């Protein structure tokens, strides 16, 4: 099961991703928004991030116009590592090196086609571990 949430800036991309997730055998959990009217991205992203943080789901997908606001909200949760991705390679690295558990997409700046490829990569790429484990473990060590 893959929860997915977006504001109006990512609404259409969210719908496209939901279709693709079903096609490739995942069960999307649509956490809104459910129309293209303007909404505040924190209202959509907090509930998803909370569930990832609590371990209800392994991975999630969030979308806003730039991907930044959504990512900022999600990363307030200690066990969330939300990565803003805009290319296939960045997406691979977010999983391999950062063990990202939320993919944040810039709905207004990448094509739907690229987003669908990135979603697949995100869900299928393993964390490399090794030297990256030590680094990921230091992320929450605020000084």
Q: Do residues 2 and 27 make contact, with C-beta atoms less than 8 angstroms apart?
A: yes
Stretch that binds ligand RB5, among 21-29, 66-74, 77-85, 96-104 (CB under 6 A): 66-74
CB 83 within 8 A of CB 94: yes
Catalytic machinery residues: 97
**Structural contact between residues 83 and 59, judged by C-beta atoms closer than 8 angstroms:** no
Interface pick for ligand RB5 out of 41, 59, 77, 122 (rule CB under 6 A): 41
Q: Which of 29, 44, 66, 91 binds ligand RB5 (CB under 6 A)?
A: 66
Determine if 104 is a binding residue for ligand RB5 (CB under 6 A).
no
Stretch that binds ligand RB5, among 49-57, 60-68, 95-103, 115-123 (CB under 6 A): 60-68
Structure-block tokens of residue 88: 């296939």
Nearer to ligand RB5, 38 or 140 (CB): 38
Q: Which residues contact 50 (CB under 8 A, 6 or more apart)?
A: 77
Q: Is 7 in the site for ligand RB5 (CB under 6 A)?
A: yes
28-30, strands of its sheet edge to edge? 28-30, 2-6, 60-64, 102-106, 82-84
Q: Which residues bind ligand RB5 (CB under 6 A)?
A: 7, 9, 41, 64-66, 68-69
């Amino acid at each position: 099961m893959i929860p997915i949430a977006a504001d109006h800036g990512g609404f259409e991309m969210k719908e496209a991703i939901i279709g693709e997730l079903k096609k490739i055998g995942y069960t999307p959990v649509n956490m809104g928004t459910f129309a293209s009217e303007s909404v505040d991205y924190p209202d959509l992203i907090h509930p998803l991030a909370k569930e990832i943080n609590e371990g209800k789901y392994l991975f999630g997908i969030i979308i806003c116009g730039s991907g930044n606001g959504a990512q900022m909200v999600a990363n307030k949760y200690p066990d969330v590592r939300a990565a803003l991705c805009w290319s296939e390679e960045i997406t691979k690295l977010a999983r391999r090196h950062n063990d990202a558990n939320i993919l944040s997409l810039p709905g207004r700046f990448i094509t739907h086609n690229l987003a669908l490829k990135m979603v697949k990569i995100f869900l299928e790429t393993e964390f490399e571990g090794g030297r990256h484990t030590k680094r990921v473990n230091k992320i929450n060590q605020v000084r």
